[in-house]
Amino acid sequence: MSMQTFKEWFFTTDHKRIGIMYLIGSMTAFVVAGMMALLIRLEQSQLGPTITDNPNEYNQWLYFHGAAMVLAFLIPGLTGFFANYFLPLMIGAQDVAFPRINAFSIWLFYGAIILALLSFVIPDPPDIMWTGYPPYSITTMGNTAYYVFTLHLLGFSSVLGAVNFLVTVIYMRAPGIGWNQLNIFTWTTVAAFVLQLVFIPVLASAVTMLLFDKYLGTNFFNPEAGGDVLLYQNLFWFYSHPAVYVIFLPAVGILFEIFTTMCKNRVFNYKACVYGGIWGIVGISGFVWVHHLYVSGMPDWLRIGQMVTTLLISVPVGLMVMSMWGTLYKAAITFNTGMLYAISCLFLVLSGGLTGIPLALTAITVHLSETSFVHAHFHFIMAMFSAFAMFGGIYYWFPKMFGRYADGKWATTGFILNIVGVHVTFVPLFIIGAQGMPRRYWDYQMFPQFEPYHQVATLGAFMVAAGMSVTILNWIICAFKGKVAPENPWKSCSLEWTHAPNCPQAGNFPNPPTVTADWSPYGYADREANLKATTDPGFPGAAKPAE
Amino acid sequence: MSAESSHAHEHHWEWSQAPFWVVAGVFFLVPLTFAAYFQYQNPLLAAIFAGLGTPMLLAGIAMWVNEGLTVKPLIADVAGIGLPIFIISEIFIFLSFFVAYWMMRLGADVWPPEGTPEFPVTLPLIMTVVLLSSSVTIHIAEEKYAHNDHGGFVKWLIFTMLLGLMFISMTFYEYNHLFHEEFYPDTNAFGTIFFSLTGFHASHVIGGLGIFVCVLIPALRGLTNKTFITCASIYWHFVDVVWFFVVSQIYFW
Ligand code: HEM
Ligand SMILES: [Cu+2]
């Protein structure tokens, strides 16, 4: 690699290269955090000390696993990698509005990853879970400062990303693209960034108060001097519940792109999905955080009120899910690996969503809260639904990024191991959770009857580990050696396929597109007319989808 | 620094070193230095980290400002929209601290809690006047710039910065005074909220001054950019508006 090529990669401000850097960073976080999950599962596979007799060590694994999976894998994967690489292409833009700020965001993200990884080598690493609740986080010997600064770096990165992408979508859409002609993925990304913009500062403030309390002796969370411990939990979940949608929404957006293309169909109920579903979620998301504090204590009016709003969330979610099924209805479906992941998500969202309802009900949740039922619930939504949507998206856009397919028997093998493995892992956790298995415990001496379930779960975790190893290796190999894909191999109508060549170069489009009011990214009903509603793509093989 | 595209149809892979160095600087200067000092109680290590971070940060900022003033952006003038969007985020940071304040205050039996000294009334009023005038002077500077009066622009920008400096000095003066009365961030709930809110606001004033320095130094060499100036000024007005909330909630409630 010449010096020039090196600089053009390392210091790049191009959205596609930054996207790839996000992909590498977030997959690294996923792999390391996944190893932590294996350690956690090994420790739980037998009663008593199994691979460590030091509960603190177990805490550090849990800390790293949770924090890295949510904050360094899912959020940067979705709003960093997918948004960066594909959103500008979908709206026909040459880059984002502020390319340097985009590079700034990626470096902040890497700074956070390095800081998080440092916790493996420093003395007294953070041991406060990804939630960082005081008073423990203030009284521990562990390095709470690194936790706080990791969140600061990631938060700043995301807020700047939000500014960047909101301005990009508002001002840099190709001439002619109206609001109702945006891809669902674009909408979900915009919504996710609106959430980041408004809610991250609250998290950043909460952890800053933590920092001040621990190191400067302030009294934010110190009841003896007039502070309030619950304030932290309130501020934390005021961000972290919406953060679930920062993950959920773009994942749904990816699914829509896969479904429409593979079904050659329009989005069923586009407007209900966008304005009712996506923006409905954004609207309610700030009024449900209390469901994470049910057992912490609060006045009944707040508890009941937020139970109602929490249940109301199922309305917008339902609208989006209905649009997905409606898009599949009576369509001629093409099956490939991307589609397999996408279809599995339809079921994962059901199991994950329905198990959220008992957790939302104030009476039942007193029993389920802080048990492994909660773990199983959010893993179905986050670790499985959202992560699988990402994996599906990677298969779907693989030809766009690398000009090659990643489908094939290894891809399918990986998928089967993954989907079976996650169920073998988490279904047992549902069962013993409902029977009272506490979450986050290093050991469960008082519940010897749960041991077999833990063993099954551990087995499942290793299946996933095998599945992900196959999957990731397959990606790496296919990026260089996979079967070469033609332009627009899935015959999509969306601009990133019709107007940008595979492996888009700097500037993205040989001829930056413009569209008329008749064009739609989902114009499958009359593909010819839809293509005529855009300007010449300017590269061979694009206008006519390859056969 | 970065490769610049001259023709619409001929593109290079764009790159810039500036963001990397800014982040590298921040990384050493904030998390590493802070943790070395407070968590590991190793001032020497902290000094080393700070010593490494500062030049990186300054170099990064210098590169960035230079590129901002010399490289043509992909799309013009959107920074004037981006900054207000960013400010939404800032508002929520301040809001969180205010919420903390309201929760503590409304939950307290007596307010201000024991150990709080008598607070001055004139000083915050003077500070308000100073900050308010600086909003006026930066507006005049912008007007001068719009009328191509470069000298006038620089002059009024410097006035603004002097007013900002005055404001900061008064903050330090007051802190010093309160420390003498044994009032610290850890004294009681009010100490916590007083020092964090005013300190947080003051850090924004200092940030604003930093931005002005970045505008001023190239301006002395004749390099300016309208969007950059507009952004600096919007930010300053924002800091000014926040002060009204701080001063009314902290001193006059
Ligand atoms: C891929 C396989 C995965 C396995 C086998 C796995 C396993 C586990 C286990 C065993 C626990 C601790 C359970 C306990 O305390 O009893 C846990 C906690 C957790 N996992 Fe996963 N996990 C996986 C993926 C993910 C993903 C993709 C996410 C991203 C959202 C995630 C987020 C979390 C969170 C937030 C916690 C809670 C951590 C805490 O309570 O501090 N996990 N996981
Ligand atoms: Cu929630």
Give the tens place of pLDDT for each residue, A57-107.
Answer: 998 899 899 999 999 999 999 999 999 999 999 999 999 999 999 999 999
For residue A33, what pLDDT is reported?
96
Mean pLDDT for chain A overall = 93
Percent of chain A with pLDDT over 70: 99
Q: Is the CB of A379 under 6 A from ligand 1?
A: yes
Give the CA dihedral B203, B209, B211, B215, nearest 10 degrees. Answer: 180
Mean pLDDT throughout B65-92?
90
Q: Check whether B7 has a pLDDT greater than 80.
A: no
* Cα–ligand 2 centroid distance for A292 (angstroms): 6
Domain residues of chain B, as ranges? 1-72, 78-250
Question: pLDDT tens for residues A96-128?
Answer: 999 999 999 999 999 999 999 998 999 999 989
Closest-CA distance, A80 to chain B, in angstroms, reads 16
Residues A449-477: tens digit of each pLDDT: 999 999 999 999 999 999 999 999 999 99
Question: What whole-number distance in Å separates Cα of residue B139 and Cα of residue B135?
Answer: 6
Confidence grade of residue A277 (pLDDT, cut at 50, 70, 90): very high
Residues 6 or more apart whose Cβ sits within 8 Å of residue A442: A43, A55, A58, A59
Q: Which two tokens stand for residue A153?
A: 């770096």
Q: Name the pTM for this structure.
A: 0.92
Please judge whether A197 and B38 are an interchain contact, meaning their C-beta atoms are less than 8 angstroms apart.
no
Average pLDDT value for residue range B90-104: 94
Identify the residue whose C-alpha is closest to ligand 1 atom 42.
A383
CB A182 within 8 A of CB B74: no
Banded pLDDT at A267 (limits 50, 70, 90): very high
Q: Where would I find the H helices in A212-278?
A: 229-263, 270-271
Please give the pLDDT value at position A296. Answer: 85
pLDDT at A299 over 90: no
pLDDT of residue A164: 96
For ligand 2, the distance from its centroid to the CA atom of residue A241, given in whole angstroms, is 4
CA of A67, closest atom in ligand 1: 35
What is the C-alpha to C-alpha distance for residues A470 and A464, in angstroms, rounded to an integer? 10
Domain B78-250: give its CATH superfamily. Answer: Cytochrome c oxidase, subunit III, four-helix bundle (1.20.120.80)
Q: At how many degrees (to 10) do helices A15-44 and A451-481 cross?
A: 150
Set of chain B residues whose Cβ sits within 8 Å of the Cβ of A14 = 13-15
- In this predicted structure, what is the pLDDT of residue A543? 57
CB contacts < 8 A (A, B): 195
Q: What is the distance between the alpha carbons of residues B150 and A338, in angstroms, rounded to a whole number?
A: 59
Answer positive or negative: Cα dihedral of B207, B209, B215, B216.
Answer: negative
Say what the pLDDT of residue B1 is.
36
Closest C-alpha to A16, from A354, A505, A385, A353: A505
Q: Report residue A361 as tokens.
A: 């009900």
pLDDT tens per residue, range A368-390: 999 999 999 999 999 899 999 99
Model confidence at A544, pLDDT cuts 50, 70, 90, reads low
Confidence of residue A545 (pLDDT cuts 50, 70, 90): low
Q: Where are the alpha helices (DSSP H) in A380-450?
A: 387-402, 409-434
Measure the N-to-C terminal CA separation of chain B; round to a whole number of Å: 52
What are the structural domain ranges in chain A?
1-279, 335-484, 491-547
User: Does any ligand 1 atom lie closer than 6 A to the CB of residue A404?
Assistant: no
Residue A481 has pLDDT above 80, yes or no: yes
How many CA atoms, within 13 angstroms, populate the side-chain half-sphere of residue B140? Answer: 15
As a whole number of angstroms, the distance between CA A230 and CA A397 comes to 44
Condensed to tens digits (0 to 9), the pLDDT of residues A43-55 reads 999 998 999 999 9
Give the pLDDT score at A245: 95
Could you please report the per-residue DSSP string of A274-291? IIIIIHHHHHHHTT-GGG
Select from B12, B27, B82 the Cβ nearest to the Cβ of A111.
B27
> How far is the centre of ligand 1, averaged over its atoms, from the C-alpha of B83 (Å)?
37
Assigned token pair, B152: 């006038």
Q: From CA A419, how far away is CA A391, in angstroms rounded?
A: 12
Contacts of residue B123, defined as CB under 8 A and 6 or more positions apart, other chains included, come to B170, B173, B174
Q: Sorting pLDDT into bands at 50, 70 and 90, what band is B114?
A: confident
- Closest by CA to B69, choosing from B229, B236, B233, B234, is B229
10 Å Cβ neighbour count for A452? 11
pLDDT band at residue A541 under the 50/70/90 scheme? low
Flag whether pLDDT at B172 surpasses 80: yes
Q: Does the beta carbon of A69 lie inside 6 Å of ligand 1?
A: yes
Q: What is the CA radius of gyration of chain B?
A: 21
State the residue for tokens 């002060």: B243
Mean of per-residue pLDDT scores for chain B: 92
Which residue has its alpha carbon closest to ligand 1 atom 27?
A383
3-class state of residue B15 by DSSP? strand
Scanning the structure block, which residue is given the tokens 């009010």? B190
Confidence of residue B4 (pLDDT cuts 50, 70, 90): very low
Ligand 1 centroid – CA A379 distance (Å) = 7
Cα gap B81→B75, rounded to integer Å: 12
**Chain A residue at shortest CA distance from B192:** A218
Percent of chain B surpassing pLDDT 90: 78
Measure the N-to-C terminal CA separation of chain A; round to a whole number of Å.
36
* Contact present, A121 and A143 (Cβ < 8 Å): no
C-alpha span between A256 and A189 (Å, rounded): 13
| 3-state SS class at A200 | helix
Q: What is the mean pLDDT of residues A414-421?
A: 97
CA A66 – ligand 1 centroid, Å: 6
Closest by Cβ to A225, choosing from B68, B189, B195: B189
The residue type found at B2 is: S
Q: Which numbered atom of ligand 1 lies nearest the CA of A372?
A: 16
- Cα–Cα distance, A65 to A385 (Å, whole number): 18
Q: Which atom of ligand 1 is nearest to the CA of A461?
A: 5
In this predicted structure, what is the pLDDT of residue A163? 97
Chain B residues in contact with A103 by the CB 8 A cut-off are 16, 19-20
Instruction: Indicate which ligand has the atom closest to the C-alpha of A31.
Output: 1
What is the structure's pLDDT at B9? Answer: 47
Give me the pLDDT at residue A547, please: 46
pLDDT at A537: 84
Q: Which 3 state secondary structure label does DSSP give B118?
A: coil
Q: Is the CB of A129 under 6 A from ligand 1?
A: yes
- Mean pLDDT within B37-57: 96
Reply yes or no on whether the pLDDT at A406 is more than 60. Answer: yes
Count other Cβ atoms within 10 Å, centred on residue A252: 29
Q: Flag if A231 and B2 touch (Cβ within 8 Å).
A: no
> What is d(CA A421, CA A457) in angstroms, rounded to the nearest whole number?
9
Smallest Cβ–Cβ distance between A172 and the set B17, B75, B113 belongs to: B75
User: Quick check: helix, strand or coil at residue A547?
Assistant: coil
Which neighbouring-strand residues pair with B15? A12
Instruction: Report the pLDDT value the prediction gives residue A225, as an integer from 0 to 100.
Output: 87
Query: For residue B3, what pLDDT is reported?
Result: 40
Q: How far is B29 from chain A (nearest CA, A)?
A: 12
The answer to whether A171 contacts B108, with C-beta atoms less than 8 Å apart, is no
Mutate to test the interface with A, among B23, B37, B102 (most CBs of A within 10 A): B23
CB-nearest partner of B85 from A167, A218, A506: A167
- Please check whether residue A72 is in contact with residue A116, taking contact to mean a CB–CB distance below 8 angstroms: yes
pLDDT of B2 over the 60 cut? no
pLDDT at residue B8 in the model: 43
Closest listed residue to residue B204, CA positions, set B134, B117, B152: B134
Q: What is the mean pLDDT of residues B98-111?
A: 90
Which pLDDT does position A502 carry in this prediction? 93
The domain made up of A1-279 has a fold known as Cytochrome C Oxidase; Chain A (1.20.210)
User: Does residue A241's CB lie within 6 angstroms of at least one atom of ligand 1?
Assistant: no
For A8-33, write each residue's pLDDT tens digit: 999 999 999 999 999 999 999 999 99
Closest chain A residue to B95 measured between Cα atoms? A202
The whole-angstrom separation of Cα A173 and Cα A324 is 25
User: Which residue's CA is minimally distant from atom 26 of ligand 1?
Assistant: A383
In sequence order, which residues have a C-beta less than 8 Å from that of residue A380 and are 6 or more positions away? A348, A351, A352, A355, A426
Indicate if ligand 1 lies below 6 Å from the C-beta of A244: no
Mean pLDDT to the nearest integer, A486-497: 93
Q: Which of B100, B189, B195 sits opposite A209 (nearest CB)?
A: B100
pLDDT in tens, A188-204: 999 999 999 999 999 99
Which residue reads 């177990």 in tokens?
Answer: A58
